[in-house]
Amino acid sequence: MALDDWPSPSVNVREAFNVREFGDPHGRPMLLAHGFGCEQGMWRHMVPAFAADHRVIVFDHMGLGGSDPRYYDAGDYGSLETYARDVLRICEELALEDIVFVGHSVSAMIGVLAARREPTRFGALVLICPSPRYIDDPETAYRGGFSADDIDGLLSTLSHNYLGWAESMAPVIMGAPEGDPLSDELAATFCRADPEIAKRFANATFLSDNRDDLAHVDVRSLVIQTKHDVIAPEFVGRYVADHLPRAELVEIDAVGHCPNMSAPEQTSAAIKAFL
Amino acid sequence: MGAPPPHPGGPGAPDPDDLSLDEFYEHAVCGYLSLTADGTITRVNETFLDWTGHSREDVLASTRFVSLLTVGAQIFYETRCAPLLLAGRSVDQVSLDLRRADGAVVPVLLGARVHATATDGRPSVIRVTLVDLSERRRFEEELVARNLELARANEEYDTFAHAAAHDLQSPLRGIRQNTEFFLEDVEGADLPGDVVDQLHTVVRLADRMQRMLADLLVYAQAGRGALHVEPVSLTAVVGEVVDLLGDPARRAAPAVHDAALSADRGALRQVLLNLVGNAIKYADGPPAIEIGACSLEDARRVSVVPPSLADVPPSATVITVADRGRGIDPASRDRVFELFRQVDPDAEGSGTGLALCRLICRRHGGDIWVTSELGRGSTFFALLTPGQG
């Protein structure tokens, strides 16, 4: 069953996308969208930073984490547009307005697509390690950092790790930090995914080209760039900030592609300063 | 711990099996690395340096582990392994490609553990173990290629069997018809008796071949098309089977112990049609047929379950069809499910019935097997949906 076939009154969007809310129900809504390979648990260190004055909402993309896979339709999820449509459905169901949308990795572009479709809903976009196109495009002298062969290499790595996605991971070694609202989400199923779904999401992500969408997003935006991000290098973050009409770029003192996990304080501070 | 055993060199000589921890670490069979939370390498062993050709100085000069991977593997590591490790998870049996200093690629199996955590709960030391996979990977890739080839060959075989069974029917009809015309034409003519007998044999054999081809077509079709698994009642399906088999089945009046199960209704009907049909055909006197269901665990107590079902949960439903017929000779028990393998040479039929049952059960992910005693009857066990308990 595809999402479009849902008779709208009976759709339980909250269950379908494993939507969870924290913080002040009357605060400004902040929607946190996880990236490829993960799930909402990756926001665990950042939720507390905004819970005091925001209505913080996390969810899992369809087919991943705790979403309801019955609503996954392989035919639909071949493009990021479908993921953007899902984001808008969640916004509609929860009656969110003036949203601060925080998207990590591929979800940054999913947010861009959603904001292009319904600009009035969004008050601000925070794009963590975004890339509008991963593969270089020599014709337009665009550098995304990857060749088509590199992406083939990723897909082949994915197929060599077919089992790794589904297997249950070992229990948490470290104790959950104080006030961690998502710690129960980090049970044995953290980032478990159907390998076929992961592969299709990888295709939709790494073969996407959303450069043309950037110019149409009339929403205040923040691009958060880290050091040594092999997925979204500095020149890509710069490109995104230059091509979004109302964007600023901030480089934070963090290394790698997941500052929301490795440097949540710096990431939260950058967002707070922007807001 | 007692004193170490004397080593071959005798006391005083250097120990060839040096058990110092340094030696263990540096020259282990696996590559060892220690990383900070952001993946910067802080320690590496000799084995890793040997494999990759990187110098210790280069690797320890604030190099991130991910930069030593091929680009495809880098994306996988950063989007998959790094978040897991940052969440305090272990990463096990991840297959990745390392880039050697000379550019060559080494496939490795990676395992990683968060060894120490900072006060905020985030990892401070991550230990990585790498095992050389070169040979394994080649083997794996060959296996995958062969599997693809096999799947293609199977598909071709299916199409071939279907086309052959279908296309052979029309010339056969021609042979039969022309033989009959000839028999009509020569009726009353003075022909040697054995010529007429032989012509009748041609017609009879053509009839038999036609039945075989029709059954073969059913068999070939059973391998095609999608299964529609739905909840079904055993009693209802047996009712349909009795209707299809007609009077002999109504007289046999099989006893049914009802059970609810999930299966493709048409496929289940086909299996029961053959099993009940056989029970009637091979009855010794009036047939006594009992149809029921039990758990795989119960079936294990009374029969030898095929090894293909080793991983099926013990609660899975098995359908049983028991008769008090002639039974099957132990020597032919394993062969009854083979195609065109008719145990009783005098029996009517083409020898596709039980092969079809097996094909259907296996397509569902299950299997079929039998226990039997000559002169006392047989019990067939059919498992269609392994996931169903």
Whether residues B126 and B32 share a domain: the answer is yes
Whether residues B127 and B144 share a domain: the answer is no
What is the CATH number for B41?
Answer: 3.30.450.20
pLDDT digit string, tens, across residues A42-74: 898 899 999 999 999 999 999 888 888 888 888
Tell if the CB–CB gap between A161 and B94 is shorter than 8 Å. Answer: yes
Name the residue range of residue B182's domain.
139-222
For residues A137 and A70, which has the higher predicted lDDT (pLDDT)? Answer: A137
Give the mean model confidence (pLDDT) for residues B131-144.
88
* Nearest partner of A181 among A84, A41, A85, A64, judged by Cα: A41
B95 contacts in chain A (CB < 8 Å): 157, 160-161, 164
> Would you state the pLDDT for residue B341?
67
Whether residues B312 and B199 share a domain: the answer is no
Q: Which residues of A are catalytic?
A: 105, 229, 257
Q: How far apart are CA B11 and CA A268, in angstroms?
A: 64
DSSP secondary structure, B163-189, as one string: HHHHHHHHHHHHHHHHHHHHHHHTTTS
Whether residues B116 and B164 share a domain: the answer is no
End-to-end CA distance of chain B: give it in Å, rounded: 51
pLDDT at A121 > cutoff 60: yes
For residues B286 and B357, which has the higher predicted lDDT (pLDDT)? Answer: B357
Tell if the CB–CB gap between A37 and B80 is shorter than 8 Å. Answer: yes
Tell if the CB–CB gap between B78 and A151 is shorter than 8 Å. Answer: no
Give the mean model confidence (pLDDT) for residues A186-196.
65
Nearest to B75 among A167, A172, A231 (CB): A231
Give the mean model confidence (pLDDT) for residues B36-45.
93
> Would you state the pLDDT for residue A89?
94
- In a domain, residue B173? The reply is yes
For chain A positions 78-107, those within 8 Å of chain B (CB to CB) are 105
- pLDDT confidence band for B166 (50 / 70 / 90): confident
For residues B313 and A27, which has the higher predicted lDDT (pLDDT)? Answer: A27
B88 contacts in chain A (CB < 8 Å): 172-174, 186
Whether residues B101 and B185 share a domain: the answer is no
Name the residue range of residue A8's domain.
3-274
Domain boundary among B85, B104, B132: B132
Interface check A188 vs B, CB under 8 A = no
| B126 to chain A: closest CA residue | A173
Tell if the CB–CB gap between B97 and A157 is shorter than 8 Å. Answer: yes
Q: Is the pTM of this model over 0.80?
A: no
Of the listed ranges A81-85, A111-115, B194-198, B220-224, the one predicted with least confidence? B220-224
Whether residues B238 and B207 share a domain: the answer is no
Whether residues B187 and B323 share a domain: the answer is no
pLDDT digit string, tens, across residues A165-187: 544 333 333 334 444 555 544 44
Nearest to A35 among B79, B89, B95 (CB): B79
Percentage, residues of chain B above pLDDT 90:
38
> Would you state the pLDDT for residue B381?
95
* Nearest partner of A123 among A101, A149, A151, A99, judged by Cα: A99
pLDDT digit string, tens, across residues B75-84: 999 998 998 8
Whether residues B152 and B240 share a domain: the answer is no
> Would you state the pLDDT for residue B29?
92
Q: Which helix (H) or strand (E) holds A173?
A: none
Whether residues B375 and B236 share a domain: the answer is yes
- In a domain, residue B389? The reply is no
Tell if the CB–CB gap between A174 and B114 is shorter than 8 Å. Answer: yes
Measured over all CA atoms, what is the biggest interatomic distance in chain A, rounded to whole angstroms?
51
A258 contacts in chain B (CB < 8 Å): 78, 82-83, 86
Whole-angstrom CA distances from B366 to B99, B257, B338 are 44, 21, 16
Give the mean model confidence (pLDDT) for residues B368-377.
89
- pLDDT confidence band for A7 (50 / 70 / 90): very low
> Would you state the pLDDT for residue B107?
94
Question: What is the number of domains present in chain B?
Answer: 3
Interface check A206 vs B, CB under 8 A = yes
Amino acid at B16: P
What is the CATH number for A238?
Answer: 3.40.50.1820
Whether residues B102 and B197 share a domain: the answer is no
| A165 to chain B: closest CA residue | B80
- In a domain, residue B3? The reply is no
A180 contacts in chain B (CB < 8 Å): 121
Whole-angstrom CA distances from B340 to B213, B269, B353 are 11, 21, 9
Tell if the CB–CB gap between A230 and B75 is shorter than 8 Å. Answer: yes
Alpha carbon B274 to chain centroid distance?
A: 23
- In a domain, residue B63? The reply is yes
Domain boundary among B169, B189, B222: B222
ipTM attached to this prediction: 0.86
Tell if the CB–CB gap between A157 and B76 is shorter than 8 Å. Answer: yes
Question: What is the number of domains present in chain A?
Answer: 1
- In a domain, residue B4? The reply is no
In this structure, what are the phi and psi dihedrals at residue B68, rounded to the nearest 5 degrees? -90, 0
Domain boundary among B222, B256, B272: B222
Q: How far apart are CA B194 and CA B264, in angstroms?
A: 51
Q: At CB < 8 Å, which residues of chain B contact A?
A: 37-40, 64, 66-67, 70-76, 78-80, 82-84, 86-90, 92-97, 113-114, 117, 120-123, 137, 140
pLDDT at B310 > cutoff 70: yes
